[in-house]
Chain A
Amino acid sequence: MNIFCKAIATTLLASSIVMPLASTQASTVIQQPIETLAKTSDLVFEGKVVGIRSEAVGKKIYTYVSFEVNDIVRGEYQQEIIELRYLGGTANGVTMTVGDMRIPSYGEHGVYFVEQLDGKTVHPLRGWGQGHFIVKQGSGGQRMFNSQGRAITEITPTKQSSAKARALSNSHTAAGVAMDTGAKQVMDLDTFKDSIRELK
């Protein structure tokens, strides 16, 4: 984006913060409040990807992602490893792609909202990308980002969330998750998990 475009984007963004915002969805997945995601997920856990495999079952291709479970944020899960199934992947030279599907990469550290522990859904995470958060280790500690790499600064239940928080949301991130690309006060992992645990 050139400087002129940036200026436009900044103007539009700043303006959208001060005016009543009406946001509509043109996406495949409806944006949901973060508290809804938390309450309706079977399990919310912090983990690290330790294995990925894809296999073809007839015409379909599935990718199985294994996570080492570091911490349970909500729900109950007793084992050290959890495997989630994503529809799509590459097998036998053929790639099956489901639009909007972002499969975690090997070594990824994140917090994941699992829709159904025993479910066979297209995407294993509640709200697809909205239930997918990434942890990055920086010099200041472990910081939180959404699935598209945007820094997360605050978790606020949508009934209390500010206009700014709503303005910066999209269907890749649940309502109530505030983001700011230029922010230096990126939310740390422990604060993020505490916020998710406290959602009612």
Chain B
Amino acid sequence: MKTVSAVFAATIAASIAMPCSAFVLSGPKWPNNEVTIHYEPMLFPSTPGQPPYTMAVWNNAMSDAIDSWTQGANNLTIHKVADHAHPCAGIVGAGASVIAPEDGNRSGVAFLSTMCTESFGSGVLAINVSYSTGSHYTNSDIIFNAAVNWDIHSGPILGSSVYDFKRIAVHELGHLLGLGHETTQTAIMNPAYTDPERIAAGDLNMETPTPDDYQGINTLYGAGSEVPPLKVVLEEPHSHGATVGVGNVRGWAVAKSGIAEVEIYIDGVFWDNAPYGASRADVGAQYPTYPNANNSGFSMINNWSNYTEGPHTIVARAIDKLGNVASTSGLAMVDKFDVSYISSADLVKLSDNISSSGDTITLDNVSINGKSYRIVLKWSNATQQFDIANIINLF
């Protein structure tokens, strides 16, 4: 175990020297980079900690959780008000009267036994419910399941059935501020926490936001930040020339929340998920504020000889980590020889009949596997080479 831990330590140390980011943004943000949270929880949990805590203890824990975000949020002002705001304000309950009076969209915290009127369902610890119009939040509340066995403590978790209120509060506050779940990095916004170094050290949980979490908030509320778009570009095949033999289906995709997957469809039928993450320094330079834009390429190999001659539609469908979808399409003008695979260069014989005009080269009477063709080559800026533009069967 010590050897393994040492490997982790070295790896983590390296990651600190070269930080990685993969935060996920929910979409909306608070207007004017300001949010006010009435942080004192309404009501008590049903199982009020061991020993039972006073309300002041829960209030202080919530206050500390907010402070942990304030420390790293450079462009967002978090106003912390020592007051209550009922998450169910203005919502009609079972008795046809409102659960709590309308409060003008105040954001608050509560321990409740239901989500105002709905059952939480099995296994639910806490919920963040937000309202937004356009790209801005208008209200956001955090509701803790009062039936959960809550406690407040630092260090290793106490067991599988006791949950630390403050850690969950920090996580839910991340949602309230505009972050989604991050699943690839060590982060308080990661829904499953498995940091090997901390586990090896006996600390089975983190308690505050990580640099990745802060980077997410600072990206969302950075100067001139806007709600993130999603963009996908299909670069190959390109419709100005013929698509022949084995070729690429490639392009790039970026999203402020990160790309979850890129699906490729050919003639309307799902073909496969394209491997994503190829180096694209040019895209990174063009989209410097998009996470992982430097590695935003996707590419797959396809043997177009297996398709009929003529046009085939290719659609690249990018899905970001918020579930947003963007797609782009291209056309593959499949042209091919009479054989699907030319197994040897010996089967290809050029004649002396070669001509050129501008950026086009014509090879006449080319014999391939015993049959004659006229092959037209044309310069392509996209591929930076002469591509086959046309294949004409000579009878």
Residues of chain A having any CB pair with chain B under 8 Å: 1-6, 8-9, 11-12, 15-16, 18-19, 21-32, 40, 58-60, 87-88, 93-100, 102, 105, 115, 119-123, 126-128, 136-139, 148-149, 167, 169-172
Whether B119 contacts A96 by the Cβ 8 Å rule is no
Taking CB atoms, residues of chain B closer than 8 Å to A19 are 1, 4, 196, 200
Whether A16 contacts B196 by the Cβ 8 Å rule is yes
For the complex, what is the distance from the CA of A5 to the CA of B184, rounded to whole Å? 10
For the complex, what is the distance from the CA of A10 to the CA of B22, rounded to whole Å? 15
Instruction: Tell me the residues in window 255-271 of chain B with beta carbons closer than 8 Å to chain A beta carbons.
Output: 260-261, 269-271
Whether B121 contacts A121 by the Cβ 8 Å rule is yes
Taking CB atoms, residues of chain A closer than 8 Å to B8 are 12, 15
Q: Could you jot down 12 A-B contacts, CB within 8 Å?
A: A8-B11, A22-B194, A22-B204, A23-B193, A29-B123, A97-B131, A99-B128, A99-B130, A121-B120, A122-B118, A128-B124, A139-B272
B127 contacts the other chain (CB 8 A): yes
For the complex, what is the distance from the CA of A188 to the CA of B131, rounded to whole Å? 39
Complex interface bits, B92-132 against A, C-beta within 8 A gives 1, otherwise 0: 10000000000000000000000111111111111111111
Whether A95 contacts B133 by the Cβ 8 Å rule is yes
Whether A58 contacts B190 by the Cβ 8 Å rule is no
Whether B260 contacts A149 by the Cβ 8 Å rule is yes
Whether A97 contacts B132 by the Cβ 8 Å rule is yes
Distance (whole angstroms) from the CB of B117 to the closest CB of chain A: 8
B294 contacts the other chain (CB 8 A): yes
For the complex, what is the distance from the CA of A23 to the CA of B132, rounded to whole Å? 34
Taking CB atoms, residues of chain A closer than 8 Å to B132 are 94-95, 97
Which of B90, B91, B121 has the largest count of A CB atoms less than 10 A from its CB?
Answer: B121
Q: Of all chain B residues, which has the CB nearest A60? A: B91
Whether B11 contacts A26 by the Cβ 8 Å rule is no
For the complex, what is the distance from the CA of A167 to the CA of B199, rounded to whole Å? 13
* Interface window among B12-20, B35-43, B335-343: B12-20
Known: A19-B4, A26-B171. A99 touches B127 (CB 8 A): yes
Whether A26 contacts B190 by the Cβ 8 Å rule is yes
Complex interface bits, B132-159 against A, C-beta within 8 A gives 1, otherwise 0: 1100001000000000000000000100
Which of B18, B120, B123, B193 has the largest count of A CB atoms less than 10 A from its CB?
Answer: B123
B29 contacts the other chain (CB 8 A): no
Taking CB atoms, residues of chain B closer than 8 Å to A128 are 121, 124
For the complex, what is the distance from the CA of A19 to the CA of B196, rounded to whole Å? 9
For the complex, what is the distance from the CA of A1 to the CA of B212, rounded to whole Å? 12
Q: Name the one of B125, B129, B277 contacting A98, with C-beta atoms under 8 angstroms.
A: B129
Whether B122 contacts A115 by the Cβ 8 Å rule is yes
B367 contacts the other chain (CB 8 A): no
For the complex, what is the distance from the CA of A126 to the CA of B127, rounded to whole Å? 15
Q: Name the one of B18, B129, B157 contacting A97, with C-beta atoms under 8 angstroms.
A: B129
Taking CB atoms, residues of chain A closer than 8 Å to B75 are none
Q: Name the one of A30, A102, A126, A136 contacting B125, with C-beta atoms under 8 angstroms.
A: A30
Whether A24 contacts B204 by the Cβ 8 Å rule is yes
Additional pairs, 8, CB under 8 Å, beyond known A8-B11, A24-B204, A31-B192: A12-B11, A15-B4, A40-B122, A96-B130, A115-B122, A122-B121, A138-B272, A139-B269
B219 contacts the other chain (CB 8 A): no
B285 contacts the other chain (CB 8 A): no
Q: Of all chain A residues, which has the CB nearest B138? A: A94
B181 contacts the other chain (CB 8 A): yes
Distance (whole angstroms) from the CB of A151 to the closest CB of chain B: 8
Q: Of all chain A residues, which has the CB nearest B202? A: A22
Nearest 4 Cβ contacts at the A-B interface: A170-B192, A5-B20, A27-B191, A99-B128
For the complex, what is the distance from the CA of A148 to the CA of B323, rounded to whole Å? 8
For the complex, what is the distance from the CA of A99 to the CA of B87, rounded to whole Å? 14
Whether A97 contacts B26 by the Cβ 8 Å rule is yes
Known: A2-B292, A170-B192. A120 touches B118 (CB 8 A): yes
For the complex, what is the distance from the CA of A79 to the CA of B356, rounded to whole Å? 69
Q: Name the one of B4, B91, B205, B279 contacting A3, with C-beta atoms under 8 angstroms.
A: B279
Taking CB atoms, residues of chain A closer than 8 Å to B117 are 60, 120
B378 contacts the other chain (CB 8 A): no
Taking CB atoms, residues of chain A closer than 8 Å to B90 are 58-59
Whether A122 contacts B127 by the Cβ 8 Å rule is yes
B168 contacts the other chain (CB 8 A): yes
For the complex, what is the distance from the CA of A166 to the CA of B287, rounded to whole Å? 36
Q: Name the one of A3, A18, A28, A95 contacting B127, with C-beta atoms under 8 angstroms.
A: A28
Whether A127 contacts B130 by the Cβ 8 Å rule is no
Q: Name the one of A2, A31, A169 contacting B294, with C-beta atoms under 8 angstroms.
A: A2
B167 contacts the other chain (CB 8 A): yes
Distance (whole angstroms) from the CB of A128 to the closest CB of chain B: 7
Q: Name the one of A26, A30, A31, A137 contacting B269, with C-beta atoms under 8 angstroms.
A: A137
Taking CB atoms, residues of chain A closer than 8 Å to B190 are 26, 170
Q: Name the one of B138, B192, B323 contacting A27, with C-beta atoms under 8 angstroms.
A: B192
Distance (whole angstroms) from the CB of B196 to the closest CB of chain A: 6
Whether B20 contacts A99 by the Cβ 8 Å rule is no
Whether A11 contacts B11 by the Cβ 8 Å rule is yes
B327 contacts the other chain (CB 8 A): no
B319 contacts the other chain (CB 8 A): yes
Whether B319 contacts A126 by the Cβ 8 Å rule is no
Distance (whole angstroms) from the CB of A111 to the closest CB of chain B: 17
Q: Name the one of A1, A23, A93 contacting B295, with C-beta atoms under 8 angstroms.
A: A1
Whether A2 contacts B192 by the Cβ 8 Å rule is no
Distance (whole angstroms) from the CB of B60 to the closest CB of chain A: 20
